[in-house]
Structure 1
Amino acid sequence: MLERQAAQFGAAVLKVEAELSAQIRYLTQVATGQPHEGSSYAARKGCQLALNRLEYARRRLGELQRGCQQLLEA
């Protein structure tokens, strides 16, 4: 009986250890910005970069338009 309880306790400790290790790995990924299951960081970052490129393209096209208008008016 004591051996069975000791074995059960040992199994419970191993299970807790495995769950804690999984949580530590997850938190390490989150804290370092690495992609992890369920993370939306990479998608948000990609979207923000795309919006930045779009804004740059709009500014550049506006500059080109003004330059063309000046040439046509001259």
Structure 2
Amino acid sequence: MSRIQQLEEIEKNIAKALEFAGVVMNEMAKDKSVSKNVESHCTQFAKALENVESGLMSQINYLTTVSTSQPHTGSSYGAQKDLLLACQRNEIIKNRLQELEKVHASHAKKFSN
């Protein structure tokens, strides 16, 4: 299931939970509320909340994995990061080699004189 579909399912579960909470509140507001109805709707509310919680945890775990640069399907973030770091290392090495050439040239002048 795609991430968007999973988020839509979570949204539906949130709506269900709110609906069940409203039914419970209406039932409790009655002068003679039926405890079996209240318990039934409370149970449905709790199940809906559990579904929301597990769905959100799944999404958070996915986002945590993606944001820590671990490979996942369809992402080029890791490869882009590796390329950027390789370019930076290349530039550092190039600068150090230029510095070494300057030092070598200055030492060569001292010993040739």
Sequence identity, in percent? 35
- How far apart are 1:31 and its partner, in Å? 5.0
- String of CA shifts for 1:6-33, please: whole Å, max 9, x gaps: xxxxxxxxx8xxx416xx47x6244554
Shift of 1:38: 0.8
After TM superposition, give the deviation of residue 69 of structure 1 in Å: 0.3
Which amino acid in 2 is paired with 1:48? L
Q: Is 1:48 matched with 2:75? A: no
Gaps of 5+ in 1: 1-14
- TM-score, reference length from structure 2: 0.40
Structure ID, larger Rg: 2
> Among residues 97, 104, 111, which one is paired with 1:61 in the alignment?
97
Tell me the residue number matched to 1:37.
73
Q: Which runs of 5+ in 2 are unaligned?
A: 7-54
